Amino acid sequence: MPTEAKHPLFVTALARGLDVLRCFTPERPELGGTEIARLTGLPQSTVWRLCYTLQQQGCLVPGAAPERLRVGPGVLLLGHAAATQVGLVESALPLMKALADEFQVSVSLGQRDRQVMVIVQRAEAAGILRVNLHVGSSLPLLTSSLGRACLAAMNEEERRPLLSALKKATPAADWPDAEAEVAQAVADLARHGCVFNLGKSHREINAIGVPVPTPGVNSSGAGAGAGASRQLALTCGGARSLLSRELLLRKVAPRLIELAASIAPLIDAAREPAASQRRPAR
């Protein structure tokens, strides 16, 4: 569904162009115009114009097959700039790698982008059971430990409209279970400080997730600037044969919570320039 907003400063054409780019994922590296129209809900004619413009800007390039497109170097440059700007790549990785090696697990840091969590940093211990996840992979809010940690950390006022949007995008038969699992995640976070995903995303993997506290942001996500409400979470997972729920709760969860607290100020420090360097809005 295309992004829409009624604010006078909102540029609908730009938002729709970004919606087109979001259609391309590691699972969907090449797409045709008809597929993009279906994924975005935009008219075919609009998709053609947007794709032509994005090609002229180097953000889309021809795919291997006729009439298909893939992400171009323009997007890769933007992605690299974003990853380095937020300070996650260099600052968070050593801390995440230390935890991954300590428990022989993988550790991922994710940021919410609408209805998905995007992995922005990932560390793995050598020789672990691997899944096809990497920086840039997106995971669903409802079923991943990253997403559930993010949802559980929201207050009810913030979570309610998001769940309403997620319900519209979820098959009706699946929604009761999904809603119940979100409620369980909220309860688990309040009781244990973490949420669980025990063999559900991958039957051989047990994982937990914790939200990353964001300094300067209140519980509703409001903060000093437009970038202040970034919603982040950490997840830690490994083979079910090695990571029982008890072990995750007793030993891994306290360390993951500590890691989240350690990463939070690093993210905040990299988020915005010093107040003296900011230009007043015009």
In tens digits, the chain (282 residues) has pLDDT values of: 455 556 788 898 999 999 999 898 877 889 999 999 999 999 999 999 999 999 988 889 998 887 899 988 778 667 666 655 555 657 888 999 999 999 999 999 998 888 889 888 899 998 777 777 888 888 999 999 999 999 999 999 999 999 999 999 899 999 999 999 999 999 999 999 999 999 988 889 999 999 998 754 443 333 333 333 468 999 999 999 999 999 999 999 999 999 999 888 776 555 544 444 444 444
CA-based nearest residue to 241, from 128, 124, 108, 120: 128
Which stretch of DSSP H or E encloses residue 113? strand 106-113
Q: Kindly report the CATH number that applies to the domain delimited by 12-76.
A: 1.10.10.10
Are the beta carbons of 87 and 261 closer than 8 angstroms?
Answer: no
Which CATH number does the domain 86-271 belong to among 3.20.20.60, 3.30.450.40, 3.40.50.170, 3.30.565.10?
3.30.450.40
User: What does the alpha-carbon distance between residue 173 and residue 181 come to, in Å, rounded to a whole number?
Assistant: 14
User: What does the alpha-carbon distance between residue 204 and residue 276 come to, in Å, rounded to a whole number?
Assistant: 51
Q: Report strand pairing: 106-113 vs 116-124.
A: antiparallel
CA-based nearest residue to 69, from 60, 77, 78: 60
CATH 1.10.10.10 positions along the chain are 12-76
- Give the start-end residues of each E strand in 172-240: 195-198, 205-211, 232-239
Please tell me the pTM assigned to this model: 0.71
CATH 3.30.450.40 positions along the chain are 86-271
Helix axes 88-103, 253-271, angle to 10 degrees: 170
User: What does the alpha-carbon distance between residue 212 and residue 162 come to, in Å, rounded to a whole number?
Assistant: 19
CA-based nearest residue to 268, from 233, 235, 221, 230: 230
Dump the DSSP string for 23-85. Answer: T-BTTB-EEEHHHHHHHH---HHHHHHHHHHHHHTTSEEE-SSTTEEEE-HHHHHHHHHHHHH
